[in-house]
Amino acid sequence: MRTPFPTGRAWIELDRAALRHNAAYLRSLLPPGCRLMPAVKANAYGHGAALIARELSRLGVEAFCVATAEEGAELRAGGAAGEILVLGYTHPACLPLLEEYRLTQTVVDCAYARELERYGRPLEVQIKLDTGMHRLGERCEHLRELESIFAIGNLRVTGAYTHLCAGETDAPAGRDFTLAQDRAFRDAVERLRSRGCAIPKVHILASDGLLRYPELGGGWARVGIALYGTLGSRADLERHGKCLRPVLSLKARIASVKEVFQGEGAGYALRFRAKRDTRLAVAAIGYGDGLPGALGCGAGSALVGGVRVPIAGRVCMDQVLLDVTDVPRVSPGDTAVFIGRDGGEEIAAVDLAEQAGTITNEILSRLGPRLERILAG
């Protein structure tokens, strides 16, 4: 990998080869007739939607899904040519964005279909069916209401989809629930089609679904987290993500190095207390960049000079203290790695997720706009 020379205080390096590898691997799992529709919502899970979408387009990816119309508009303005599916709610006042940027809106339920009807202008839509998650989607049993969507003159339905919510459990109950969701979805689609409703494409799989239940098929696989080379939890990653390669590294510049004496405190509320004469490095990244505050006071670590060092005291908004006493040489301008490799050591996004008591998706998608993003390799 070519070493980039970022100018910023804190930055993200994206490994192009890893992204290509993941795309190729996930494509190899696709059931017949199914294509990748990468999820690039929340700035491509923090990776940088423009960079990721451009690279995936080069690999022949032609469709994307996003959470909001604004995300879709940005993607289109950035040059994405194919279908862009907005998975979430778009306020009626923002519907012109859908037209202007040729976005496909999800019909989140039948009441929303009426809002889209009131808009009166032509819109492309996909209908979301609720098969048990009870988040977005019209309940799949409501066939008459669903059928009425197809009669709305200004809507052109290009597909229908549902979302699995027990996809990440390997327990029999999770499997049963997933298969029941699939049956309910297929059944509703079949009944609608038999009543003359045209549904060109149907889809059901996200990352967990594609890795565990590729046989469920569909026209698109709405893959997010796996494409970025990780999965929500360590158990998931160990069971189903062995072939994935992490795309993102998170790094920051060391701004200053100083000695504190045994017994002295450091940081807000003096939450770090030196048990010995200590060397502290100030790294220029904080919770304002998405580094979780829960990593403070030794819960999390960074890699400096190939050595794993604890986070000392509280994470600040723009900075964090590292106890680098055990690192032979540290100077301002050196790099601290918060996610990624350094020497023989590695910190994975899933490590941060565990330390912060959340899932990898949340750690990544919170990485903020101040971070410079560089695609390398």
Ligand X SMILES: *Cc1c(COP(=O)(O)O)cnc(C)c1O
Question: Which x/- pattern, by CB under 6 A, does the window 24-53 give for ligand X?
Answer: ---------------x-x------------
Closest residue to ligand X in the complex (CB): 224
Q: Which is nearer to ligand X, 206 or 285 (CB)?
A: 206
d(CA 142, CA 161): 15
Report in angstroms how near the CB of residue 203 gets to ligand X at its nearest. Answer: 9
> Active-site positions?
41, 268
**Smallest separation, CB 363 to ligand X (Å):** 13
> Using the rule CB under 6 A, is 218 a contact of ligand X?
no
When the beta carbons of 226 and 316 are compared against ligand X, the nearer one is 226
> Is 13 in contact with 29 (CB distance < 8 Å)?
no
**In this structure, are residues 302 and 338 in contact, taking their beta carbons and an 8 Å threshold?**
yes
Q: In the numeric block, which tokens belong to residue 57?
A: 């387009």
By beta-carbon proximity to ligand X, the closer residue of 86 and 252 is 86
Closest CA to 162 of 199, 192, 127: 127
Instruction: Verify binding: residue 127, ligand X, rule CB under 6 A.
Output: no
Other Cβ atoms less than 10 A from the Cβ of 232: the count is 21
Q: Given candidates 87, 192, 282, 330, which one binds ligand X under the rule CB under 6 A?
A: 87
Contacting ligand X (CB under 6 A), which of 123, 206, 216, 304? 206
- Backbone φ, ψ for residue 261 (5° rounding): -90, 155
Distance CA 181, CA 222 (A): 16
One of 22, 207, 233, 301 touching ligand X (CB under 6 A): 207
Q: Among 9, 47, 163, 373, which residue interacts with ligand X (rule: CB under 6 A)?
A: 163
63 binds ligand X (CB under 6 A): no
Q: For the purposes of burial, counting CB atoms within 10 Å of the CB of 139, is it exposed (0-12), middle (13-18) or buried (19 or more)?
A: middle
- Dihedral pair phi/psi, residue 52, rounded to 5°: -65, -45
86 is an interface residue for ligand X by CB under 6 A: no
H or E stretch covering 189? helix 172-194
Question: CB–CB of 222/83 below 8 Å?
Answer: no
In the set 216, 225, 285, 327, which binds ligand X (CB under 6 A)?
A: 225
- Give the footprint of ligand X on this chain (CB under 6 A): 39, 41, 87, 163, 206-208, 222-226
